[in-house]
Structure 1
């Protein structure tokens, strides 16, 4: 038997590869954010700027996630220090909306890793904190490959459970909201475990959750109801004249063949929106024992919608569409 010939894996410090953090690594990372987003399991990161002024200091990189919320990235070669931790906390304290904080360093001291865990467990669920160690790997004479190792990250399931407990004690939530929060928290962990491009990174008490598909105003929306039904749909928020759905419907036969099953084409006359949906009936999203089956079905249909409609929605002519906000609650039309 011929045994395989294997190379020796070499681990290089970041400073050995990039040399200088502010002058080389930060510009390099700003141009390769997809590598970081893959490690963090964040669907998309869009660069907004480097060396961005933030009071008395500057942020190395400011980006946005797929939902338009800020992602603050601070880089550091060598071991972590209190200065960088303090800067990140100071900046987050000035924010009014959701944000993600990413601290990238060659090596995290245990007390700083513990501080990130504490921030994730103690702060609002609107803020996510990541600690990421960066190094490079190579085999023999190969070019070095960047490697991001996430050593601390938010536990959204635990945070959602705490949020539910807090709101339960104050009587703020109806029973349907408890069911929704529990289901979406479970689905969020399921997506993470599957390394899915779809991510849920906040508590949600609505019966729907929207995921970007690559064009503003159009989303993949997953839904659950207490009526024994779950669904996935392509939701066009601003389609009052139904131009979008009718352009897609002209290719209905090919679309449904690619999708693998019949779809429900709803123009929603009198509404600003339209949608193309598929439903699973006889489902009980309040039954935790059924989560696995429902999650499998939901993710499968979400991936089909992305595959079948991802390019098609980018080609739609929506010039006649209304640009005002669609304030219709989808529950009114389910």
Structure 2
């Protein structure tokens, strides 16, 4: 029988990589939220580091791009303690968060039970996660980070707790079923998203990796299905600047995609969007043409990421600086 060479799994002390939580680990985590999002089943988009809450500061504030809920992350490179649990609840209240994430290198059973208790006794708009941080390597290899989900919302395995909007009609149920299939295919086959639980709404936003810009799928009015790049970084002028930068490359972009797009600057509104349109398509059609419609969206979202993705960094660097207030002398 041939000999099989196997490596030895080794635990690495997290502080050997990040000596200080605030100075070393928090900035690293803020730039690697995809890894945390994959463990949680959420697409995370960073908003702020050290977000102020009164005289305190939350480690990381982010956004769930699918539900648009505010996410807060509190981390510690030590065993869970009462102080961090209190901070977590304080930050959740101060920032009106919908998703609360507590990361620690070791988890006390009492604190796991506390997070389970909060998930059982809070409403469907509020989800608590407790994550154990582990760093491993095999026989001296480079270290790898593992986020182990230790406590999560009760129904998170497949259909995470829904927001306050309930399933009130066949149409909303159809949206949820359609987007669940789309989401699963994009996640499992293409690693396009971390999202795991579809919700009963007519649109879905997927992270582009650039804050304020998403790849959207939307059943729009007029029997139209859209695959789109949606631009909303929070202010009108930057949105229009990003749009104009991309519009100046319209010929090259449409050539790469192989089709004409609908370019909507939406003057008078804050956001902008660039869309591929499938006409005469509603969610009702998904019952008979679900596979075909889903494949159309999958291909267009992947193409949008391939073509627009490399252009977004340059487009966002053209954002004009805000005008300084005039000073009278």
TM over 0.5: yes
Q: CA deviation at 1:253?
A: 5.5
C-alpha distance in 1 between matches for 2:125 and 2:34: 18
Q: CA deviation at 1:81?
A: 3.8
Q: CA deviation at 1:38?
A: 0.9
Closer/same/farther in 2, CA of residues 111 and 4 from structure 1, 3 Å limit: same
**5+ residue gaps in structure 1?**
169-173, 324-334
Q: CA deviation at 1:232?
A: 0.9
TM-score by length of structure 2 reads 0.68
Closer/same/farther in 2, CA of residues 198 and 176 from structure 1, 3 Å limit: same
Instruction: Identify the residue that residue 63 of structure 1 maps to in structure 2.
Output: 61
**SS, match of residue 208 in structure 2:** strand
Q: CA deviation at 1:158?
A: 4.1
Instruction: Identify the residue that residue 204 of structure 2 maps to in structure 1.
Output: 209
Q: Deviations over 1:229-277 (max 9, x none)?
A: 533123456559x845642322155322xxxx43443458887645231
Kindly indicate whether residue 39 of structure 2 is the aligned counterpart of residue 38 of structure 1.
Answer: no
Q: CA deviation at 1:210?
A: 3.1
Closer/same/farther in 2, CA of residues 253 and 162 from structure 1, 3 Å limit: closer
Instruction: Identify the residue that residue 145 of structure 1 maps to in structure 2.
Output: 144
Closer/same/farther in 2, CA of residues 201 and 254 from structure 1, 3 Å limit: same
Closer/same/farther in 2, CA of residues 128 and 286 from structure 1, 3 Å limit: farther
**SS, match of residue 160 in structure 1:** coil
**SS, match of residue 228 in structure 2:** strand
Q: CA deviation at 1:9?
A: 1.1
Q: CA deviation at 1:111?
A: 4.5
Alignment match of 2:259 (pick from 259, 262, 266): 262
Asked if the contact 1:188–1:200 (Cα under 8 Å) also holds between the matched residues in 2, the reply is yes
**SS, match of residue 94 in structure 1:** helix
Q: Which has the larger displacement, 65-74 or 143-152?
A: 65-74
**SS, match of residue 221 in structure 1:** strand
Equivalent residue runs for 1:69-88 within 5 Å: 69-78=70-79, 80-88=80-88
**5+ residue gaps in structure 2?**
233-238, 323-329
Instruction: Identify the residue that residue 25 of structure 2 maps to in structure 1.
Output: 29
C-alpha distance in 2 between matches for 1:8 and 1:318: 46
Instruction: Identify the residue that residue 221 of structure 1 maps to in structure 2.
Output: 216
C-alpha distance in 2 between matches for 1:190 and 1:120: 28
Kindly indicate whether residue 45 of structure 2 is the aligned counterpart of residue 48 of structure 1.
Answer: no
Instruction: Identify the residue that residue 301 of structure 2 maps to in structure 1.
Output: 302
Q: CA RMSD in A?
A: 4.5
